[in-house]
Structure 1
């Protein structure tokens, strides 16, 4: 791949035809674990190719092999018929292959324009950055690609959807003819996801190669031209054309799981006259420059109720969770759990009545370099007996959580960072929900945590497969039946509809609508965009 022109302009004639990528009998292992085994796949220009499978099935590893991020232990990767050697991201980029990773690879303190050209900056004589050329090239690129972002905004201030667009623009700026995306819609609202897929389909129609790893089968059915199912590191199914029949989702689910899909979890009935167990009044968080990130949020969730929070990401959801957890020092307002005001309590004290799952498991949920057993009992050790009894109780608690949430592999000594994203998420949810609504203690378990009154779960199934999602949904329903008030913040409207008794919509730090779970996508979308009143 030649370097982009100084102006950075993009047009189909500049990018050339899509890069055909072939993976022939590739394998890749991590220590004793085989992530991909003898897998073959062809990604052709002009089509949008979806890759699906359970957590740990090898999807992301396969994509990284195609992008030169990883080198195969066996087999060969070819780009336009020529082996990818050396198997490095730089060589793949030179050959026209670019990858957008699941976790953004952006410098938050840089402006969007600076991130866009980082690594291939147009320069003036003497090596100084030519900002005028960079801006002209970025403008031409955005117009040609149909993607628009505020170039002068600090990247950390961009919405999640804008950062996703920026990642794609970065790849295109470098002349990518093949664009590989790992879970690109995991953090997007439904409207943003539709917009992203419209862009990807347009790029495919222009002749580029586009491949997407996703857990969302509805996206596959609606947008993909071709689909490959990975199971246990191998290609289990590959369709050259996605069928649109009524039973296609079930067929794909069976291929993903190697058998019948788990039954969908039904929301528990809500008892008449149940008292409010989680009460929030006038919750406000003020950011830099006096802007209100949370603007007087008030809500009440009854005992046994599951209330969902929907909204375009970046409209106060993260601040709401942090404020409820006691992690937001700028918060003002009243929070009560079980009739007891906890507004002045610290994080540790709030654990006694409130279980919390944060949206970013890596930043706020896990110690990736610690063992699974340590992650499963973070925050619990002070409640266990000391000495031998405490060690036995801790081991029993870990074993119960591993079994109850089906953490794979069921090895408490493994490092959390070695697990798939879905199994990492199981650990985070297991720790929070088993703490607030513990199952019956197992043999040898000397104690168990007292019943809590509420749980706040941000993106509880983000990036997890259908089987792991079923485990998490079942635990949420069980906690509801036990009488907990549960607040679920999710970008997945289907998840909110299945689980929740009612939906709250957030916009610009406020609750702007309260809707029944049977409302239409259009109603929710209009509320998200501020097109109709609550």
Structure 2
């Protein structure tokens, strides 16, 4: 059995737990998520699990961590069956999981979230904050992960929240650390730092398993790779290949054939009019801090402009301000040549499509059906009565087919889908909008038809095939004349899609670069070492 964590928040025994899955299966209703899968996760190595969206990767991890119980087969930790199959029992045995979507209390301070559930106490059962802080500080030094312990969790950057999730698991004495898409919300530099930490933990003898869609990370960092396909283990071997086509080999294994062709950046017509214009946009946060500081940019019709930058430098605030969700202290925003400061929500939606970075908080109703989510915000543009219901069903069917939502069941709850398929719903709804309903009195001059789209992290947490579908939809929208602004932590994605890259730092646009620029140029701009 795994030792309990010490009061210092570190495991008494640094040895890793051996996790074995023997012929495990798990279904959700009629859908089989994992079928007869066998896998061994051993200490001392970084194990990557890859596959398409819905292939069973996250389910496999949840079975390993006691979050789910198998319908068939067995899960063993150090040779002993994981019974009962609960997260508490798995944690007691030294197995901890970091979920794809954060499991934090936003109103708590980071320190309070870190020790929640195993708080050090003094006389009378009172929380010993001094002991908690000492333990947390020691753990951060040992793990090489630093966060502001006194900050309110909701005010942390997504990268800091990811680090906090990992520290929470380590604080509970995890000897096996299972991470579901841990770098989906991190910048390339933060991802490299995280993998350096995970490799160090593996060298110390812990068991490390990572579910990821980023195959470049697998090639660079993993010691062992398992490919899941349609709920089964299709391949499990040492990740020894460092060939020029290593990513291609993995892609073919994941898809069971050749990957889809790369999406070509659409040509940009000379003299195209500006369709999205931002001038001097300023947003003031708590304490008078400038979250956006005079942002100025212009995107022409048919152009795809990318925003790069270290997470937390104003990207989220820019999206929210353009979407009308946060008030601006100064500045002007125009779409299709019309200023949008006084528009109502309906008018703004008619001409501006927005995808937010957090699909759970700002993109989906998880307890509603896939079909309802696919037409969320569109019903006012559809006919009424029986004709409207038929039109709605047709829109849902088209979006499911175009974006290959799996399973293709409009009645299924959105919360039951994999993260990648949830992302397809959000992007499908934004880029496949039906024509807006006839404007009311006085609206015609203020609400031009679709002119621009703002897409934050459009392929976060999706596989190669799904990313190709989304990229094709973005390119198609640009060919149709929309101005597209893409905010992404994936520089490779921005290079492939965009006509130019804008770099954000401390709430400002500090550089405009061609997609062929070097990583060093982008990195220097991100660090404020040069502007262009």
What interval of TM-score do these two structures reach, taking the shorter chain for normalisation?
over 0.9
Residues 12 and 206 in structure 1, CA contact (< 8 A), matched pair in contact too: no
Residues 50 and 228 in structure 2, CA contact (< 8 A), matched pair in contact too: yes
Q: Which moved more, 1:89-98 or 1:129-138?
A: 129-138
User: 1:202/1:441 Cα in 2 relative to 1: closer, same or farther (>3 Å)?
Assistant: farther
Q: Deviations over 1:370-404 (max 9, x none)?
A: 22222121222212222333222222222222222
Residues 393 and 447 in structure 1, CA contact (< 8 A), matched pair in contact too: no
Residues 335 and 341 in structure 1, CA contact (< 8 A), matched pair in contact too: yes
User: 1:176/1:308 Cα in 2 relative to 1: closer, same or farther (>3 Å)?
Assistant: same
Residues 10 and 145 in structure 1, CA contact (< 8 A), matched pair in contact too: no
User: 1:385/1:201 Cα in 2 relative to 1: closer, same or farther (>3 Å)?
Assistant: same
Structure-1-length-normalised TM-score: 0.94
User: 1:443/1:111 Cα in 2 relative to 1: closer, same or farther (>3 Å)?
Assistant: closer
Q: Give the whole-Å Cα distance in 1 for the aligned partners of 2:137 and 2:430.
A: 46
Per the alignment, residue 345 of structure 1 pairs with 343
Residues 7 and 136 in structure 1, CA contact (< 8 A), matched pair in contact too: no
Residues 381 and 435 in structure 2, CA contact (< 8 A), matched pair in contact too: no
Residues 5 and 11 in structure 2, CA contact (< 8 A), matched pair in contact too: no
User: 1:241/1:10 Cα in 2 relative to 1: closer, same or farther (>3 Å)?
Assistant: farther
Q: Give the whole-Å Cα distance in 2 for the aligned partners of 1:189 and 1:449.
A: 36
Three-state SS of the structure 1 residue aligned to 2:126 is coil
C-alpha deviation, 1:525, in angstroms? 2.1
Q: Which moved more, 1:192-201 or 1:420-429?
A: 420-429
Per the alignment, residue 96 of structure 2 pairs with 98
User: 1:468/1:72 Cα in 2 relative to 1: closer, same or farther (>3 Å)?
Assistant: same
Q: Give the whole-Å Cα distance in 2 for the aligned partners of 1:386 and 1:109.
A: 42
Q: Which moved more, 1:432-441 or 1:486-495?
A: 432-441
Per the alignment, residue 204 of structure 1 pairs with 202
C-alpha deviation, 1:74, in angstroms? 0.7
User: 1:7/1:89 Cα in 2 relative to 1: closer, same or farther (>3 Å)?
Assistant: closer
Q: Deviations over 1:230-258 (max 9, x none)?
A: 01110011112331112221111111111
Residues 184 and 212 in structure 1, CA contact (< 8 A), matched pair in contact too: yes
Per the alignment, residue 312 of structure 1 pairs with 310
C-alpha deviation, 1:5, in angstroms? 8.7
Residues 376 and 398 in structure 1, CA contact (< 8 A), matched pair in contact too: yes
Q: Deviations over 1:414-443 (max 9, x none)?
A: 222222221211111111111279999999
Three-state SS of the structure 1 residue aligned to 2:376 is coil
Residues 381 and 437 in structure 2, CA contact (< 8 A), matched pair in contact too: no
User: 1:346/1:329 Cα in 2 relative to 1: closer, same or farther (>3 Å)?
Assistant: farther
Q: Is residue 44 from structure 1 mapped to residue 33 from structure 2 by the alignment?
A: no
C-alpha deviation, 1:445, in angstroms? 25
Residues 505 and 526 in structure 2, CA contact (< 8 A), matched pair in contact too: yes
User: 1:450/1:369 Cα in 2 relative to 1: closer, same or farther (>3 Å)?
Assistant: farther
Q: Which moved more, 1:112-121 or 1:185-194?
A: 112-121
C-alpha deviation, 1:330, in angstroms? 4.2
Residues 10 and 172 in structure 2, CA contact (< 8 A), matched pair in contact too: no
C-alpha deviation, 1:411, in angstroms? 2.2
Q: Deviations over 1:87-125 (max 9, x none)?
A: 111111111111111111112222222211111111112
Q: Give the whole-Å Cα distance in 2 for the aligned partners of 1:231 and 1:410.
A: 17
User: 1:123/1:445 Cα in 2 relative to 1: closer, same or farther (>3 Å)?
Assistant: closer
Per the alignment, residue 139 of structure 1 pairs with 137
Per the alignment, residue 8 of structure 1 pairs with 7
C-alpha deviation, 1:449, in angstroms? 13
Three-state SS of the structure 2 residue aligned to 1:352 is helix
Residues 111 and 136 in structure 2, CA contact (< 8 A), matched pair in contact too: yes
User: 1:286/1:440 Cα in 2 relative to 1: closer, same or farther (>3 Å)?
Assistant: closer
User: 1:67/1:372 Cα in 2 relative to 1: closer, same or farther (>3 Å)?
Assistant: same
User: 1:276/1:22 Cα in 2 relative to 1: closer, same or farther (>3 Å)?
Assistant: same
Q: Deviations over 1:344-375 (max 9, x none)?
A: 21222111211111111111111222222221
C-alpha deviation, 1:491, in angstroms? 0.9
Residues 308 and 488 in structure 2, CA contact (< 8 A), matched pair in contact too: yes
Q: Give the whole-Å Cα distance in 2 for the aligned partners of 1:414 and 1:133.
A: 47
Residues 109 and 151 in structure 2, CA contact (< 8 A), matched pair in contact too: yes
Structure-2-length-normalised TM-score: 0.94
